[in-house]
Structure 1
Amino acid sequence: MNSNPDRWKQRLQHLIKAQQRLERACSQESYNELELAGLVQTFEFSFDLTWKTLKDLLEFEGFDVASPRSVFRTTLEAKHLSSEQCEIMLEALIKRNLLFHTYDEANVLEAQALILESFSPVIGQVTRYLEEKCAQGERREQ
C-alpha cells in the first residue's frame, strides 16, 4: 500500500503535462517518420502515467492493485472509469506490444490511428476526471 496519501495528486501533475503534450502531438495534420515515432513515445509515457496515477488513487482509497490490468478493472468497479473507457484502456494495454514495433510501417500506421481515434481521447477524459476529483478533495479540505 502507498504510504503517501498525496502520491496520486503528485503523479497527476505529471499526467496533466504528459496528456497536454499528447494532445498537441495528436493535433498535427500529418506526420513524418520521426514525428510518428514521437507520437508513439508520447502516447506510451502518457499511458503509463495514466495507469500509475489511477493505481495510486486506488491505493489511497484502500484497494490493493498491482498490474495495469487489475488497475483498470478495479477503477471500473470503483466507478472511476466507464465500461467503455475501461475497455479502451485494456485495448491500449494489449496494443502496447504493437506500438513497440514502430519500424514496421503497417504497425506504425495502425498505432497512429488507434492513438488519435481512441487512446488519446480516453487518456484526456481520465485526466480531466482525475483533475476534477482532486479539486473536489481540495474543496472539502478547506
Structure 2
Amino acid sequence: MTGMHQERWQLRLQNLIKAQYRLAKACSQESYNELELAGLVQTFEFSFELTWKTLKDLLNYEGFDVASPRSVIRTALEANHLSSEQCETLLDALIKRNLLSHTYDEQNALEAQRLIVKHYAPIIADVMHYLEKKSGE
C-alpha cells in the first residue's frame, strides 16, 4: 500500500489520542449534571467513531477491504489487533451507541454513564495504546 494510507491511519490516530484524552478526563468525574452527562456521551461518540475509523485505516493499509464498523471490528480481531474481549465490547458499544444518546431519559442517562465509564472508555484507551505502539514500529 502507499504511504498515504500509513499517513492517514497515523493522522487519524493523533485525533483519537486527543479524543481519548478528553474521554478519560470526562470519565474521571464523580458525578454529572445533565449537561455534563450529555457531554460525556458526545465525547464517547467521537472517541468510538475515531477508534473504529483508525482501525479501518490501519486495516486498509495492511491490505484488508473493510467498510462498515462491524466488519472493521471483526477483521481487527482476525488480524490480531483486538482481543476477543475488546472486540465484544466494541461490538456492544456499536449496538448501544444510538440508545446512549437518549440522555433526556434518566434511566438511559444513568445506564449510558455506567457503560461508558466502566466498560467502553477503558477499552477505547487500550485500543488507542495498542495503536500508538503499532504506529511506532
TM range (shorter): over 0.9
Distance 1:54 1:105 in 2: 33
Q: CA deviation at 1:3?
A: 7.7
Match of 2:113 in 1: 112
Conserved? CA contact 1:26–1:116, under 8 Å: yes
Q: 1:129 is matched by which residue type in structure 2?
A: Y
Using the size of structure 2 for normalisation, the TM-score is 0.96
Cα shift readout 1:57-94 (whole Å, capped 9, x = no counterpart): 00000000000000000000000000000000000000
Match of 2:4 in 1: 4
**Unaligned 5+ runs, structure 1:** 137-142
**Unaligned 5+ runs, structure 2:** none
Using the size of structure 1 for normalisation, the TM-score is 0.93
Q: CA deviation at 1:106?
A: 0.6
Conserved? CA contact 1:15–1:127, under 8 Å: yes
Distance 1:2 1:87 in 2: 31
3-state DSSP class of the match of 2:98? helix
1:70 matches 2:63: no
Match of 1:79 in 2: 80
Q: 1:116 is matched by which residue type in structure 2?
A: V
Conserved? CA contact 1:102–1:108, under 8 Å: yes
Q: CA deviation at 1:101?
A: 1.0
Match of 1:92 in 2: 93
Conserved? CA contact 1:89–1:119, under 8 Å: yes
Cα shift readout 1:90-112 (whole Å, capped 9, x = no counterpart): 00000011112111111111000
Q: CA RMSD in A?
A: 1.3
